[in-house]
Structure formats: structure tokens, C-alpha cells
């Protein structure tokens, strides 16, 4: 595919991003180190968070969606997300990208974008 296409398009659009989120969130929630972040959340709140994540990722990848949530710094303030938590998150993200056989160029762009949010998320 042409590099002039948005990352959103090259990843497969909305349905592909939503499928990745559907794969990633259960991994994170069931992880013994990261599960604490969802431990006392109701299913409605988790579904809302999931939709916000899809919207955020789609918009950030150049898609036609508009993200209406808070910025990453405000959303994660006080959660005490550590470097160790971040590393575990990245391992799950990489496993999800493997599951979907995301090509190297797109994988690098996704990981680069995710890394750009780290300073606002890790305390």
C-alpha cells in the first residue's frame, strides 16, 4: 500500500482498530499486574472506556473520528502507573499486534505513537 495513505487506512480502518482494542483490553484486564486498574470498574464504564480508546486511536491514526475524551495526562493522573506497568502494557500490545500480523512499518508507527504518550501516562 502507498505510504501516502493514513495509518488508519493502512491498519484497516475502524473495524480493524476496534478488533485490536477487543483483543488488547481483555489481555490488560486479566494481567496480574495491570488488572488492578479495572478491578472496581463496572461493565458500563469499561465499555465507555473501550469506545473512547477506539475513538482516540482512530483519530490519532488519521481516521475520520473525533475523540471527545480527556487528554492522556488528565485521564491517567493519580493512577500510579509505573515503568514496570508500562513495560507489561507494551508486551501485551506487541502480542496483540502479532495476533493481527500488523506489518513492520505500521507496527513501528503504532509503537512510536504509543511511546509519545508515555510521558503523560507514567508517573
Domains of the chain: 8-121 (1.10.490.10)
All three cell numbers of 62, joined, read: 488519521
Question: Residue 65 and residue 52: Cα distance in Å, rounded?
Answer: 11
pLDDT at 1: 45
pLDDT at 4: 85
Residues 82 and 121: beta-carbon distance below 8 Å: no
pLDDT at 75: 93
Question: Residue 64 and residue 51: Cα distance in Å, rounded?
Answer: 15
- Full DSSP string of 32-71: TTTGGGGTT--HHHHHHHHHHHHHHHHHHTT-S----S--
Q: What is the pLDDT of residues 35-86, one digit of tens each?
A: 999 999 999 999 999 999 999 999 999 999 999 999 999 999 999 999 999 9
Amino acid at each position: 500500500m502507498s505510504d501516502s495513505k493514513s495509518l488508519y487506512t493502512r491498519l484497516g480502518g475502524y473495524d480493524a482498530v476496534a478488533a485490536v482494542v477487543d483483543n488488547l483490553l481483555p489481555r490488560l484486564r486479566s494481567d496480574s499486574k495491570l488488572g488492578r486498574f479495572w478491578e472496581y470498574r463496572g461493565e458500563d464504564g469499561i465499555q465507555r472506556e473501550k469506545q473512547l480508546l477506539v475513538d482516540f486511536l482512530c483519530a490519532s491514526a488519521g481516521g475520520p473520528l473525533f475523540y471527545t475524551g480527556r487528554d492522556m495526562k488528565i485521564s491517567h493522573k493519580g493512577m500510579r502507573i509505573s515503568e514496570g506497568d508500562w513495560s507489561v502494557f507494551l508486551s501485551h500490545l506487541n502480542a496483540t499486534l502479532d495476533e493481527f500480523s500488523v506489518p513492520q512499518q505500521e507496527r513501528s508507527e503504532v509503537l512510536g505513537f504509543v511511546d509519545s504518550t508515555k510521558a503523560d501516562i507514567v508517573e
